[in-house]
Structure 1
Amino acid sequence: MTFGTLDEVEEFYKTYAHKCGFSVRIGGQGKRNDMVDHKRFLCSREGFTRRRAESNNQKKHFETRCGCNARIYVKLSQDNKYYIASFVEEHNHSLVSPDKIPFLRSNQSVSERGKTTLFTCHKASIGTLQAYRLLQVSDGFDNIGCMKRDLQNYYRGLREKIKNADAQLFVAQMERKKEANSAFFYDLVVDEHGKLVSMFWADATSRKNYSHFGDLVSFDATYSTNQYNMIFAPFTGVNHHMKSVFFGAAFIANEKIESYEWLFRTSLSAMGGKAPRSIITYEDASMKSAIRTILPHTIHRLCMWHIMEKVPEKVGPPLNHEKDFWAALNNCVWGSETREEFEMRWNEIIVAYGLQSNDWLANKYQIRESWIPAFLWIYLLQGS
C-alpha cells in the first residue's frame, strides 16, 4: 500500500485507530533533500511522561502513557510515494469501548455542521458554550464529533482570520469615504506583521465642528471592543446650543504612551494644527504624559464624573448611605466658587468623617487644580 502524501498516511492510520479504539500521536520524522524521508505515527500512549517531582500542594496528573509500541513507520520510495515499512499492531493496554470512541482526542474534529452552527450563533451574539449545547440537543452528544474545547479552539483561530479581514474592509471603507469627499481624513498604523494597531478618522462635518467649537475637547478611552481587543476613543465637544458634537474617533490597540502620542499628533494634523485650549480626560498616567508632550499649551483637566464615581469604593461602605456626607461632598465639589471656599469645605468633611488616613482622597486633594471647577476659571482667565 502506497500513499501520495503524509496527510493521506495520517488519515489512513487515524481511520484505522478510530475503528480499533485508540488515539494517534504524530511521531518523529527525517528529511532528505528538503523532503520528509520517513515518519512515525504512534499510539498516543507510546513512551512515558517525564514530570518533575510533585509537591504535596500541586495537583496530581493522571498518567496516560504506558510505553505502548503500536505504530506505523513509513518511508519515501524512489518514485516519491510513501509506503509502510513497519507496522506494530499489538497494544499493551486495553482499547476503548465503541461508545467511548467518539471522545478519543485524535478522532475529534469540528464538522462542517458544527462550524456553520458556531458561526451562526456568534452572529446572533450567542457564545461558544451555548452553541455547543445546541449541537448536543440537535445532533446528540455522541454525534458532535468534538469536545467543547475543540469548538473553542476552532473559533479562536476563526476569530483571528475574521479580525484581519474586517480590518482590511475597514481601511477600504475609509479610503472610499476619502475618495468621495477629499475633506474626509484618516490615518493608520500597522505593525511589522501588517496588523492594524491604530486608526484615527474625522469626516468633513467633524472637522468643521472642531474649527468652531474645538477650544474644549473631551477625550474618553474607556470604551473597549470585546471582539477585536481594541480601544474605541472618541473626541467630543459642546456646541453653541450646549449639545454634544463629534470631532473624530480612533481605535488603538493599547494604552501606552506611544499610542496616545501618535493619536494626539494625528488629531492635530487632521485639525490643521489647532490645539484645544482645554482637554478633559479620565485619570491615566500614559495619557497625561502624551498630552504634556504633544499638547504642551493645552490645559489638561480630569473628568469629575469618573472621579466621583470612584468615591463610594474609596470611602467604604459606612459612608455610602450617609446622605449628609454626600450632600456635603457635592456642595464642596460643585458649589465652591473660590479656591479658599473649596479648601475650607474639603477640610471640614475630612475631619467630620474621620478620613484623614484615606490615601485616595489625599491624592485627589493634591491634584485638586485638575478637576475642581473652582480652579478652572483661574486657568481659563490666565489663558485668555
Structure 2
Amino acid sequence: MELELPEDDENNGEKKNKQTRRRSITREGCKALCVFKMTVDGKYMILRVHEGHSHALATPSKKPMLKSARKVNTMLKGMLKTYHRSNIGDSKAYNILRDQVGGTENIGCMRRDLQNFHRNIKMLLKNSDAHIFITNFSRMKARNPSFYYAYEVDEERRLKHAFWADGICRKNFALFGDVISFDTTYRTNKYSLIFAPFTGLNHHRQAITFGAAFLANEKEESFVWVFEKFVEVMGGRKPVCIITDQDPAMKKAIDVVFDTSIHRYCVWHIMRKVSEKVGGALNSNENFHKKLKACVWVSETPEEFESSGLSIISEYELETNDWFKQMFGMRNTWIPCYFRDVYLVDLLRTTSISESENSMFGNFLNKQLSLVEFWMRFDFAIEIQRENEKELDYANSSSIPKLKTDNDLEKHGRGIYTHTNFYIFQDQLWLACMHYTVARIEEEDEKTIYSVVNNCKESTKPSVTASKQGVKGLIYILQRC
C-alpha cells in the first residue's frame, strides 16, 4: 500500500528568499599520498609515497574535526532520537552530549554532522512518511489488540483522515468520559494536517487523552467521520457534554453524531481572543479585564450575567464591537451560569481541560514536523501524561491531607476524594462553616426553600430553592457547624 501526503507548506507558493550558504574550498591540490598494493600472499607493500604537504597539518586539538575522524555512530543516533522525542533540537542535543562525555573531542562528530544526519533522515521520509505512519499503527495493533486505528484516503491515495486510541485511552473514557474537549486549533506538522485530540479530566483533575485524529480539512463530513470513529471505539457511548471551539461545521457534525450530548463552546479559547478583539487601548485597561472575568466566572444566574454584561458593554462603549456583540448574543453556549443544571457542572466551569492540553501538546509539537517525528513526540507526551497520573496515584496511596476541622463530613471526604478534589471540597466546607448559616427553612409546592445567610457580607442572597436531595449535603454541613 502506498500513501501520499499533501504538499508541505515549504513547497507551496513562492519559495522564501533564503540566504545562500558560502562554501569554502577544501581541496588545494596537495600531492601527498601513500599507495599500497596487495601481494599474491595476501600482504601489502608500499607502491608509491609522496611526503610533501602543501598545507599545514592538523594539530592534535583539531584532529577530531577531520572528516575521516567524524562519524554519527549508533549510540549518537539513538541519543539524538531520544532528544528529539523530548523536543530538543540538534544544536541543544550537541551541547548536552558535550557535557555528558566531557568535551566536543569525545563526541565523535561535529554539530554540523548531527544536523546533516537529521536532514538526511527527513529526506528519506519525504516520500514514505504517511506509509510509515500508518504501518506503525499496524505494528501496534499486532502487539496490542486493544489499540484501535482507522484512516481514509482520497481519490489520489493521499492521507485524508486518521484516528487512533489505545486501550488506556478507552479505559479512561469509560471512567472519566462524561465531559470531553475536542480541539482543532493545533498545527503540528508540515503538511497542514489538523491535529485534533479528544481530552478530558481524570480524578486528579489532570488532562488525559481519550484519542486523537488527523484531519485534512475542517468540513462537516470530516468531523462526522472522526466523531463516528470515536463513538465506535468507545462502544457506542457518548459524552454528557462536549466542549469545542466555534467552528460552524463542527457544530453541525456534533448535532449529527453526538445528538444526546450537550455542546458548549470553550470559554478559554473565547477569552483568549478578547485582547485582539477589543483594541489596544481597552486591552491595557486592567479594570475592564477584571470586570469581564468577574462577569463570566462569578455570575450565578443568567439574569446576573446579562445585567453585568450589558453594564460592561455600556461602560466601555462596546455597542459597535461586532465580535463582542456576537459573543454576548450566543452567551447561552459558553457562559458557565447557563449550564448550572448540567451534571458535573463544576468541570464545565473550569478552563483547565483546554489549558492543560494546550500546554502539554504545545511543548512538544510544532508545524515543521514530519508525521514520523510527530508520532515520536506525541507518544512521549502521552507517556509523561500517564507518568504524572501514576505519581499522583502514589501520593494519594502513601499520604493523607491535613484536616481543618473535626467535622465528620470532612473526615469522610478525605477518605473518598483524591487529594486534589479533597482540597477543593475542604475549602468550600470551611467557607460554609465559617461564613454561612441557615436562617430559615420553608416548604412550598414540593420544594424546600432554605434561607442561607452570609455572615461576612452586608448584602446577601438570602434564599436558595432546591429539592431536598439537591441541598442535603449543604444543609448537613451548615447545621453541623
Name the TM tier (shorter chain). Answer: 0.5 to 0.7
Q: Does 1:235 align with 2:202?
A: no
In structure 2, relative to structure 1, the CA distance for the partners of 1:161 and 1:366 (3 Å cut) is: farther
Indicate which of 179, 197, 216 corresponds to 1:253: 216
Question: Amino acid of the residue matched to residue 214 of structure 2?
Answer: F
Indicate which of 313, 319, 331 corresponds to 2:276: 313
The alpha carbon displacement at 1:316 in A equals 1.3
Q: Does 1:276 align with 2:239?
A: yes
Question: Amino acid of the residue matched to residue 223 of structure 2?
Answer: Y
Q: Does 1:334 align with 2:297?
A: yes
Partner of 1:217: 180
Question: Contact conserved, 1:336 with 1:342, CA < 8 A, in 2?
Answer: yes
The alpha carbon displacement at 1:352 in A equals 0.9
Unaligned residue ranges in structure 1 (runs of 5+): 1-121, 141-157
In structure 2, relative to structure 1, the CA distance for the partners of 1:214 and 1:139 (3 Å cut) is: farther
Indicate which of 183, 193, 197 corresponds to 2:156: 193
Q: Does 1:204 align with 2:167?
A: yes
Matches of 1:219 and 1:360 in 2, distance apart? 23
Indicate which of 20, 24, 28 corresponds to 1:133: 20
Question: Amino acid of the residue matched to residue 275 of structure 1?
Answer: K
Which is richer in strand? 1
Matches of 2:144 and 2:267 in 1, distance apart? 38
Question: Amino acid of the residue matched to residue 182 of structure 2?
Answer: F
Matches of 2:310 and 2:186 in 1, distance apart? 35
What CA deviation, in whole Å up to 9, does each residue of 1:126-167 have, x standing for no partner?
x9865x622x33469xxxxxxxxxxxxxxxxx9899454011
Indicate which of 310, 320, 326 corresponds to 1:357: 320
Question: Amino acid of the residue matched to residue 291 of structure 1?
Answer: I
The alpha carbon displacement at 1:378 in A equals 2.6
Question: Amino acid of the residue matched to residue 332 of structure 1?
Answer: C
What CA deviation, in whole Å up to 9, does each residue of 1:320-362 have, x standing for no partner?
1111111110100011111111111101101111111222111
Partner of 1:79: none
In structure 2, relative to structure 1, the CA distance for the partners of 1:231 and 1:137 (3 Å cut) is: same
Matches of 1:256 and 1:160 in 2, distance apart? 31
Question: Contact conserved, 1:177 with 1:184, CA < 8 A, in 2?
Answer: yes
Question: Amino acid of the residue matched to residue 228 of structure 2?
Answer: R
Matches of 2:127 and 2:238 in 1, distance apart? 34
Matches of 1:129 and 1:315 in 2, distance apart? 35
Using CA pairs below 8 Å that are at least 6 residues apart, which structure has the higher relative contact order? 2
Partner of 1:267: 230
Matches of 2:215 and 2:300 in 1, distance apart? 38
In structure 2, relative to structure 1, the CA distance for the partners of 1:206 and 1:138 (3 Å cut) is: farther
Question: Amino acid of the residue matched to residue 238 of structure 2?
Answer: A
Matches of 2:267 and 2:311 in 1, distance apart? 20
Matches of 1:325 and 1:352 in 2, distance apart? 9
Question: Amino acid of the residue matched to residue 290 of structure 2?
Answer: A
In structure 2, relative to structure 1, the CA distance for the partners of 1:350 and 1:129 (3 Å cut) is: closer
Question: Contact conserved, 1:279 with 1:301, CA < 8 A, in 2?
Answer: yes
Indicate which of 243, 253, 259 corresponds to 1:290: 253
Indicate which of 249, 260, 263 corresponds to 1:300: 263
Matches of 1:139 and 1:249 in 2, distance apart? 50
Indicate which of 333, 340, 359 corresponds to 1:377: 340
Unaligned residue ranges in structure 2 (runs of 5+): 1-9, 27-120, 346-469, 471-481
What CA deviation, in whole Å up to 9, does each residue of 1:254-274 have, x standing for no partner?
111111110101111011110
What CA deviation, in whole Å up to 9, does each residue of 1:65-88 have, x standing for no partner?
xxxxxxxxxxxxxxxxxxxxxxxx
SS class of match (2:145): coil
Question: Contact conserved, 1:207 with 1:247, CA < 8 A, in 2?
Answer: yes
